[in-house]
Structures are given as C-alpha cells and as structure tokens.
Amino acid sequence: MIEYDFVNMPIVDIVNRIILYASKHNASDIHFDPREDCMMIRMRMDGRLRDHARVPKMYEKNLATRVKLISKMNITETRVPQDGAIKGVVDGKELDMRVSALPTNEGEKIVVRLLDYSSSLEGMASLGFSSSNLKKVQRMLDIPNGIILVTGATGSGKSTTTYSMLQELNTEDRNIITVEDPVEMNIEGINQVHVNSEIGLTFAAALRSILRQDPNVILIGEIRDSETAQIAVRAAITGHLVLSTIHTNNSLSTIERLLDMDVERYLLSTALNGIISQKLARTLCPHCKKLRPTTNYEKQIFSKVLGKDIKEVYEPVGCSKCNNGFKGRIAIQEVLFITDRLRELISDENLDKEDLKKAVYDSDTTTLLQDALEKVIEGHTTFKEIYRVVDIDFDLEKQIRKNIQKEEKEKARLENLEIIDAYDGILSNLRAMISDMKKIQKNAKDFAENQYRKKKIDNNGVEIIDAFEDLELANFIKEYRKKLKNQDNSDKKKT
C-alpha cells in the first residue's frame, strides 16, 4: 500500500495525488471506506478492488470534506446521500469524475468514478466486437426507426457502447437528443438533457417533450420503469431510432423483462431491432502470458459449445507492466438481430418460453459463452475469467460433468485391465522361470550323480561342492533349491 504523509502534506495535495494515481493506473473507481480505526482507500483496477492506502481516523473527516468540496456537495450535510461531479485538470491531465457520498455507521463512504470514454471516441471497431457481431450492429444502426437495447450489469460498459453508437449516428442530417441521469459525456452536435426528478423532469416527462422536438435519434439513458419502456417503444414505432440500456443478463431475459413491464407484445415485436448484451472480462497481459495444456473439463466445454478440439490456452503470469498477469478489460458480447421469424414468435400470446429460447439461440446468434470462449482461444483472456463472468447453462454443466465422470470411470477400468494384463504376464514369466529352474535342478542333479560316480565320493558324505567347481554350479544350486522350495510351497497354497 501507498503511505501518505498526513502530518506534513496538505490534504489538498493528498487528494490530488490519490486521484492522479488512480488515473495513471487506469482505475475505474476510488473507494473511501470509513472503518472503526481508520479510513481505507481502495481502487478498482481491471474490475477488482485493491487496497491503496490507510488514512488515520483523525484525518478521515478532512479528507471526506475535501472530496465533497471539489464535487460541489454540501459539506455540512452528512446525514443523507449526495451526488456530485469533479471536472478539472490535475497535473496537466483533464479528468471527469462522478462522486457519490453515503452515510454509514462509521462515517461517510465516498466513491469516485473516473469516466473514460476514449474507447467511445475511437468507434465501434475498438470495442472488441467479433466481425459477425459488428456487422449485425451496423445493420441495426442502418434501420431508420426501431429500438436498440444495450444490456448488462452495472459497470459492464453499456454507456461506452451506446456513446460509440451515437458517434456513428452523429451526422449533419440527424437531430439527436439524449435523456440521461446524469449526462456522462458531452458530445458536440448532440442535444443532451439531464434528468432531475426533484422538479419533475423524469425520463418519461422528458421523452414526451422530446417527441415534439422533431428528433431522428433518441437516447434514453436507462429504462427503469414501465412508463419509460412504453413511451420508448411507442417512439420507436412512430419513426424514431431509439437507443437505451436495461439491466438484464442476456437477450432472452431482456425480451421477458420488457413483457413484464407491460409492453404490448405486438408493439414490442414491431419496435425491437436488436439487443446487445455484454459483460467485461480482464484482459491478459501481452508481455507475460504463457500457454498451458487444457484440462479435461475445458476440452469438454470447447467441444460442446464451439465444436473445437483445443489443446492449449493462455494463463496469466505477472510482470512489472501488469496487475497479476492482467491489464485492462475486454467486452464479451451477445448480439441478437430481430428477424421476421422472431417478430412472429414475440407477438404470439401463447408462445412457450422454451420455444422462444430455441428460436433466439438456434439462429446465427453468438451467445455470451461462445464469444467468451473464442476470446480465450485468441489469447485475450483466460478460461477461469470467463467462467467467473459468464453464466454456464446448468444442463450443459451437468452433461459435461457426467461425461467427465464416465471418461474417468472408463480410464480407471482400462488402467485396471492394464494392471491385470501386466500381472498375468508376470505370472506367466514366473511359471516359465519355475519350469526352467526345475529343468536346471534335474540337469544339475544328473550331472552331480555322474560326477559322484566318477570320483567315487562316499554316499554318507554331504559335501559334493568340489564336483561342481569346474562349472561353478554349487552356489547356484543351493540358492535355487531354496527358491524352488519356497515357490513350491506358494504354489501348493494357491492350489
């Protein structure tokens, strides 16, 4: 962790250094967490929170007051939540931040979100879309009316994607109006409205007025309720192109969510042009990533989902240029283009959910899991990372686990057969050795008797070793007699 000199350094400079450090290290959020004995400063880098610094309890209030002051919040109010913004230049770098203060039992918790829309300015091609998905998005944008929805969890890059689409549509012959809470990025040539519910300027109220402003394209920051959803859909069927975001996990759940918001089926089927679902996964550092063999489970997933036999994937290592092997994040996307067949199914009152699911995913739609696995193969991220961010179908998981168990049982059976075959081979060799030793014993006995007769050794004598000196068989026979005796006893027991 970083240590700041709170005794000798002004709070103003410390706050500036904290913000600048977060900006230089591409942090998306700064958390000022009050605790019983101190305030912990944490930063979210590549989607993961990391401890940054510890603030002594006696300086906690000064630090919080400074952040609230530059965010244009009421510094005397600590009992209710507040929102603010910071726009300015720190050490020559222009920064744009959103700030939220929340009262807790240990003091005010403050979160600063650093906004970085450089990817939006670079266009759609910089957002990690596959070639097929990018073509679908372009087809959606080419349709002059209808609604395009971008879905995903908080912090999944929905605003970045919608702003990129606005950049594509921002031409001289279009009147573009947005309704946002708050306006996160000022775009030249676009009319942007900031929602203020305290004075009655809600999404629904603003939309009613916008429809009288002769718009070509309308951006609704977020569909939060039934009224906003219904107005957005009606605007889409009256000749306007509507872009919006909604908190759902995938294309199928988005359609179900809109129907739950009391949007009429016939209106939704007519208005909906497409759905872009996305999540963010950490990107592997290109300087230190390395290949490793795939596990049996990973091979099964690649085979079932993509129909590919993948033998190696990349894994993180870690170096001075990254955070534990990762640097930045990449979007995992699922793009559903609404075809005439899907429109018919959505408008059908008696449609079963499974039939809709089959129609959505049996078309040319690349699912989140398929897109994620392709990015694993390309070396952008890891299997473990996509397993963390993408939901794997329960039935698929169950089937793969079952196949692995079956393979392991078969492997164990084959290994047992190999052991049995090896044991049989050993027994066969032992039998052959015993047979050979019996022959040797008989030959040695015959040889000894012949030598005994020749040398006329007394029958009462026990030493006949001299008779074998030429052939050096005496010790050999003694040892083999012992072994044969033991073997014969063993064979009798087995028999």
- pLDDT tens-digit profile of 331-343? 999 999 998 888 9
Higher-pLDDT residue of 218, 116: 218
128-139 confidence digits (pLDDT tens): 898 899 999 999
116, pLDDT greater than 80:
no
The per-residue pLDDT for 365 is 86
In this predicted structure, which of 306-310, 366-370, 420-424 has the lowest mean pLDDT?
Answer: 420-424
C-alpha span between 492 and 488 (Å, rounded): 6
In this predicted structure, which of 180-184, 219-223, 247-251 has the lowest mean pLDDT?
Answer: 180-184
481, pLDDT greater than 70:
no
Percent of the chain residues topping a pLDDT of 70: 89
215 phi, psi to nearest 5 deg: -85, 150
User: For residue 477, what pLDDT band results from cuts at 50, 70 and 90?
Assistant: low
β-sheet bridge partners, residue 194: 180
By the 10 Å C-beta count (0-12 exposed, 13-18 middle, 19+ buried), 90 is classed as middle
480, pLDDT greater than 70:
no
Structure-token pair, residue 342: 């899907």
487 phi, psi to nearest 5 deg: -65, -40
The per-residue pLDDT for 376 is 93
The residue count of the chain comes to 495
User: For residue 447, what pLDDT band results from cuts at 50, 70 and 90?
Assistant: confident
In this predicted structure, which of 147-156, 382-391, 393-402, 478-487 has the lowest mean pLDDT?
Answer: 478-487
Q: Any residues with CB less than 8 A from the CB of 190 and at least 6 apart, and which?
A: 166, 170, 176, 177, 178
The per-residue pLDDT for 239 is 87
Q: Hey, which bits of 338-379 come out as E strands? A: none
The per-residue pLDDT for 185 is 80
The per-residue pLDDT for 455 is 56
Q: What is the mean pLDDT of residues 119-143?
A: 85
The per-residue pLDDT for 459 is 46
In this predicted structure, which of 165-174, 213-222, 311-320, 482-491 has the lowest mean pLDDT?
Answer: 482-491
C-alpha span between 140 and 146 (Å, rounded): 9
224, pLDDT greater than 80:
yes
440, pLDDT greater than 90:
no
pTM of the predicted model as reported, rounded to 2 decimal places: 0.75
Residue at 80: amino acid letter: V
Q: What is the mean pLDDT of residues 72-87?
A: 90
Give, as one character, the DSSP assignment of residue 75. T
The per-residue pLDDT for 175 is 93
468, pLDDT greater than 80:
no
492, pLDDT greater than 90:
no
Residue at 1: amino acid letter: M
Percent of the chain residues topping a pLDDT of 90: 34
The per-residue pLDDT for 493 is 64
The per-residue pLDDT for 109 is 95
User: For residue 14, what pLDDT band results from cuts at 50, 70 and 90?
Assistant: very high
In this predicted structure, which of 24-38, 231-245, 252-266, 450-464 has the lowest mean pLDDT?
Answer: 450-464
Question: What 3-state DSSP class applies to 268?
Answer: helix
Cα 151 off chain centre by: 17
Characterize 141-175 residue by residue with b for buried, 16 or more Cβ atoms within 10 angstroms of its Cβ, and e for exposed.
beeebbbbbbbbeeebbbbbbbbbbbbebeeeeee
User: For residue 478, what pLDDT band results from cuts at 50, 70 and 90?
Assistant: low
The per-residue pLDDT for 436 is 74
Cis before 103? omega within 30 = no
